[in-house]
Amino acid sequence: MKSRVFNVLIIFALLAGCASVPGGTSLIPPTPSPDLPGPSIQVTNAPDVLNQLKGFFEAWKANSYDVMYGYLTDASRQTISQEDFVKRYRNAMNNLGLQDLGVEVLSSTLNPHDAQVNVRMVYRSSMVGDLTRDMTYNLRLEDGNWKLDWEDGLILPELRGGNTLAMDYESPNRGEIYDRAGNVIVSQSQAVAFGVNPAFINEKQEGTLIYELANLTGMAPGDVQAKYQNYYGQDWYVPIGEASLEETNKRYGVLAGLGGVVMNNYTSRYYWQGGIAPQTIGYISPLQPEQLDEYVRKGYAPDSRIGQVGIEKWAEEKLAGKSGGTLYVVGPDGNIVSYLGKTDPVQPSSIYLTIDKSLQYQSQQALTGFNGAIVVMERDSGRVLALVSSPEFDPNLFEPDNYNSSSGLGVLVNDPNTPMLNRATQGGYPLGSVFKVITFSAALESGTYTPNLEFNCEYTWNEFPGRTFNDWTYDRYMSELRATGEGKTPPSGVLTLSQGLMRSCNPWFWHIGFDLYNQGRVTAVADMARGFGLSGPTGIEGVNEISGQILNPPTLLDAVNQSIGQGDVLVTPLQVARFMAAIGNGGTLYRPQVIEKYMDANKAETQVFKPEAVGTLPIKPANLAALREAMLGVIENINPRGTAEHRFRNFEIKLYGKTGTAETGIPGYPHSWFAGYTDQQIEGVPDIAIAVIAENAGEGSEFAAQIFRRVVEIYFFGRPRRPYSWETSIGVTRTPTPFGFEGTQTAQPQKP
């Protein structure tokens, strides 16, 4: 439910020289247009009594109870402290669920030193509708100012004598979140918080303990062991994760016999498998102190949990439904004095996402050990199938009833790796050589270049005055030379433009950036990048995103850097997956879609979201075909020339892609990129576009390309089919970090 700021507009008509004005003005709409003139008040005695009373109600409107207190007579302030006055109003308005306040002047009487104004108050409650009360406000002239002779019946007549309001809430369970096939991702459930006491672990059972906890909590086995490995032998509780009570009961016989396992039951909104797409789904938590007044006024119980980020926040109104309640007046003795109204709860809707739960979960595992992101979307519709950000976090930790929350939540919020950041949509990265598909397109569209135009791609590029730029082949050659005493990587030699993209020849693309700038086409590459959807939000609903950055190059050097995706270029993985999908589908840019539909409590569809085309790549069909052919060469050219050919050799799935290695300012630790799309054209199995980034991991062909392949395997075959080069088996790494894997040369900057 959208918040409405209640407004009070009082029109007082006071005839000059008259002591009394009988009759009433019409009730004023509570939220008038800001363009309408303010109330017209004829002043007969300064300061005017009605203007003073108006100020009191405007402070009420603004919840400025401390300001209201300043309008009270000295005698009234002797009867109640400012703290108690503020508390009385705040509690009453919150329990009432006040959303709006209307005031109608019925009559007024003015004497030299006192005045009386009769008004009709309409309290518009989010819980029990309208309450109308006729009330009399008495004012006195003190030190030249009109002051209100206050008593607690002016809050609401029923509260006279120290009575209070009490709302008995009836809150529905929050709506569930499902994947595209109806598999539950988030639900209200009985759950179990798992932990380990290392002092009681039986060494002979440890393998079973790790296996069972990994399966139940959705964690990788190595991550389970890493949680407690520094506490071996210590009598100390180490939180591990959570599982549903239903799944726990299936394994209870085994778990009960394992030393060191600690289980604590609780009931809560449960995020399955430790969080499926947690940065996208978000989490709920109790109302924070600064949120309490706002949400209680909307009709939430004070102990409610609300969506704080992600889809949980975006769809709060749908997922929460609406609490019902009964409003009572309670006497000072705690007994009910009267009943003021009742409303029934409104059941929430559930949300179905475009996310594929299995693909999402396995893709999260595919990125284990890296900081980075994976985006998978249907190539021809824009539906997002997986939105991975690593490291992950456990949204179950935000539930105070979860035994693991007290210790785990502090660790989470202070984690320097910022696991709660959605790197897929909020991570701004240099794109490196993946950006060359854009420079390639700008070159062809300029009319100056053709796919078959040739250029000699040497170790170095010297066109820029006074500077020498090294190609990645030179950096690779020098790395080999230092490591083995023999450099084996030759320069790429004479290449057509299409081969330049396939081989990711930096000099070719530096030359294009340099040449277009000198031709006066200063913004050609930047304009093409914006045409590919960069430097602006994608428009995805339900997920926070950043726009990234593509600037018109102010200097020739900036143009040269931009041509290979460096300099001031910043993109999100979601943007990259989207333009890769557009390349694959013939040029259509779709709004990425993560919400599939809403369903009400009766399982009826109430809103269905459809794919939405929002743009077209600014590239002619013939040039788009040339771009696709060059991207196919990245995968299939077997001289070997394609920069990722060795990663996809004999792979059954038809792929188009581009490697990227983006300099980060940390020598030896560039970001590893791979992005592309499939073209299998299998009926009932939509082709997909994928973008992968592994932060500071190394070369695109060494890391991101392998992760890309695994995601394709999961999508088409249901599971990974071969281990990474840094794994001993699928899911088991040789070392705990992606750096310096056994048998893997640490990559150098500029390798695409």
What is the structure's pLDDT at 105? 87
Q: State which CATH number among 3.40.710.10, 2.40.40.20, 3.90.1300.10, 3.20.20.70 fits the domain covering 430-733.
A: 3.40.710.10
Mind listing the pLDDT tens digit for each residue in 691-702? 999 999 999 999
Q: What number is the average pLDDT over the span 240-258?
A: 95
Q: What number is the average pLDDT over the span 317-338?
A: 95
Residues 522, 559 contacting (CB under 8 angstroms): yes
Would you call 550 helix, strand, or coil by DSSP?
A: coil
d(CA 70, CA 65): 9
Does 246 score more than 70 pLDDT? Answer: yes
What is the model's pTM? Answer: 0.88
Q: Which pLDDT band, with edges at 50, 70 and 90, does 350 fall under?
A: very high
Does 220 score more than 90 pLDDT? Answer: no
List, in sequence order, the alpha helices (H) in 532-602. Answer: 556-562, 573-585
Does 478 score more than 50 pLDDT? Answer: yes
What is the structure's pLDDT at 665? 87
Q: In this predicted structure, which of 121-130, 444-453, 566-575 has the lowest mean pLDDT? A: 121-130
Q: Which pLDDT band, with edges at 50, 70 and 90, does 194 fall under?
A: very high
Q: Which pLDDT band, with edges at 50, 70 and 90, does 741 fall under?
A: very low
Does 325 score more than 50 pLDDT? Answer: yes
Q: One-letter amino acid identity for 216? A: L
List, in sequence order, the alpha helices (H) in 5-114. Answer: 49-61, 65-69, 74-79, 82-96
What is the structure's pLDDT at 182? 96
Most confident of 26-35, 366-375, 600-609: 366-375
How much of the chain, in percent, has pLDDT values that exceed 90?
A: 84
Summary mean pLDDT of the chain: 90
What is the structure's pLDDT at 697? 96
What is the structure's pLDDT at 638? 72
d(CA 115, CA 142): 12
Does 15 score more than 70 pLDDT? Answer: no
Does 489 score more than 70 pLDDT? Answer: yes
Of 745 and 682, the one with more pLDDT = 682
Would you call 607 helix, strand, or coil by DSSP?
A: strand
Q: What number is the average pLDDT over the span 158-177?
A: 96
What is the structure's pLDDT at 14? 34
What is the structure's pLDDT at 103? 87
Whole-number CA gyration radius for the chain: 33
Entry field: residues in the chain: 752
Mind listing the pLDDT tens digit for each residue in 514-548? 999 999 999 999 999 999 999 999 999 999 999 99
> What CATH class does 20-158 carry?
alpha beta
Does 369 score more than 60 pLDDT? Answer: yes
d(CA 18, CA 504): 90
Omega of the bond leading into 37 within 30 degrees of 0 (cis) = no
Residues 6+ apart with CB under 8 A from 122: 27, 101, 102, 103, 104, 130, 131, 132
Does 239 score more than 50 pLDDT? Answer: yes
Mind listing the pLDDT tens digit for each residue in 61-97? 889 999 999 999 999 999 999 999 999 999 999 999 9
d(CA 308, CA 285): 7
Mind listing the pLDDT tens digit for each residue in 424-437? 999 999 999 999 99
How much of the chain, in percent, has pLDDT values that exceed 70?
A: 91
Q: Where are the beta strands (DSSP E) in 272-394?
A: 283-286, 305-309, 324-330, 336-343, 350-353, 372-378, 384-390
Domain residue ranges in the chain: 20-158, 281-353, 430-733
Residues 238, 195 contacting (CB under 8 angstroms): yes
